[in-house]
């Protein structure tokens, strides 16, 4: 079955540490996205990629980095520069104008 | 800007009907999506409107008025499991497939 997989489901980060969230899709979608969701709030766009080897910053890119070396994969690194990383992170993919398929999310907590 | 506005919270009674509104700027509008999101889970697709009018899908219906920049999601015969957040998301022609999300409406269904 085609889908989009995020891992891990839960992640704990120490102060000053970089962590990488995985997102893999086998839907053959060209575009992939990373969103952040804070409690009681909507989704805010971090980075997106419409084609392999190309990506653009979203509204809240500071403290994050991404890569798109393969069509199937769009990992997100939360760097130590992100001062408030505790949130629910959602990855999505899409083709044309038909909306998103979401992964199940990663809950990141700073300890 | 491309603000998407929807009420923060709503409460309704089991078996009743509830309407969740969403307003957006009309310039460059392409289409509008509604997603349902249970706490701690990924959003799931409910509906997509691109033309004016009402789209019915079982207990859920979605309406769009392009000229007014207005949509609503109508939930009939409410069930307890409908307690969730409902996200309105808009696709604009300038954003090449990227969705802009509202803050979400948290619906609580009471017995």
Q: Residue A44: closest CA among chain B residues belongs to which residue?
A: B101
Calculated CA dihedral for residues A4, A7, A9, A15, nearest 10 degrees: -140
Mean pLDDT, chain B, as a whole number?
Answer: 92
Percent of chain B clearing pLDDT 70 (strictly above):
95
Q: Report the chain A residue with the minimal C-alpha distance to residue B42.
A: A104
Residues of B in contact with A97 (CB under 8 A): 30-31, 50, 91, 97
Residues of chain A in Cβ contact (below 8 Å) with chain B: 31, 33, 35, 40-45, 48, 50, 88, 90, 94, 96-100, 102-105, 107
Q: What is the mean pLDDT of chain A?
A: 92
The token pair that represents B18 in the structure block = 């509830």
**Predicted local confidence at residue A1, as pLDDT:** 65
User: A23 to chain B, minimum CA–CA distance in Å?
Assistant: 14
CA A34 to CA A25: how far, in whole Å? 13
Pairing of strands B29-37, B53-57: unpaired
Q: How confident is the model at residue A26 (pLDDT cuts 50, 70, 90)?
A: very high
Instruction: Give the pLDDT score at B96.
Output: 66
Q: Please tell me if residue B10 touches chain A, with a CB cutoff of 8 Å.
A: no
Which chain A residues have a beta carbon less than 8 Å from that of B106? 40
* Confidence tier at A40 by pLDDT (50, 70, 90): confident
Q: Which residues of A25-60 are buried (b: 16+ CB within 10 A; e: fewer)?
A: beeebebbbbbbbeeeebbbbbbbbbeeeebeebee
Per residue in B7-46, pLDDT (tens digit) is 999 999 999 999 999 999 878 888 999 999 998 898 999 9
The rounded distance, in Å, linking the Cα atoms of B6 and B87 is: 8
Q: What is the CA radius of gyration of chain A?
A: 13
B25 touching A, CB under 8 A? no
Q: If you count DSSP H runs as helices and E runs as strands, how many of each does chain A have, helices first? A: 0, 11
Q: What local confidence, expressed as pLDDT, does residue A76 receive?
A: 98
Task: Give Cα A65 to chain centroid, integer Å.
Answer: 10
Q: Does B41 touch chain A (CB under 8 A)?
A: yes
Structure tokens of B83?
A: 């307690």
Name the minimum distance, in Å, from the CA of A111 to any CA of chain B. Answer: 19
Residues on chain B touching A42 (C-beta within 8 angstroms): 4, 87, 101-104
């Amino acid at each position: 079955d085609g889908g989009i997989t995020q891992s891990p489901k839960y992640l704990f980060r120490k102060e000053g540490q970089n962590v990488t969230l995985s997102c893999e899709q086998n839907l053959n979608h060209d575009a992939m996205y990373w969103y952040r969701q804070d409690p009681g709030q909507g989704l805010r766009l971090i980075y997106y990629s419409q084609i392999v080897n190309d990506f653009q910053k979203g509204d809240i890119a500071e403290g994050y980095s991404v890569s798109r070396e393969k069509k199937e994969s769009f990992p997100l690194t939360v760097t130590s520069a992100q001062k408030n990383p505790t949130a629910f992170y959602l990855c999505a993919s899409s083709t044309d104008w038909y909306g998103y398929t979401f992964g199940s999310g990663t809950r990141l907590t700073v300890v | 800007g491309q603000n998407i506005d929807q009420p923060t919270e709503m409460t309704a009674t089991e078996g009743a009907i509830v309407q969740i509104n969403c307003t957006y700027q009309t310039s460059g509008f392409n289409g509008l999506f509604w997603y349902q999101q249970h706490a701690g889970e990924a959003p799931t697709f409910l509906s997509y409107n691109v033309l004016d009018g009402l789209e019915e899908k079982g207990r859920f219906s979605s309406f769009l008025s392009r000229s007014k920049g207005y949509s609503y999601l109508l939930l009939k015969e409410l069930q307890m499991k409908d307690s969730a957040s409902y996200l309105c998301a808009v696709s604009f022609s300038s954003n090449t497939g990227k969705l802009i999300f509202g803050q979400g409406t948290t619906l609580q269904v009471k017995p």
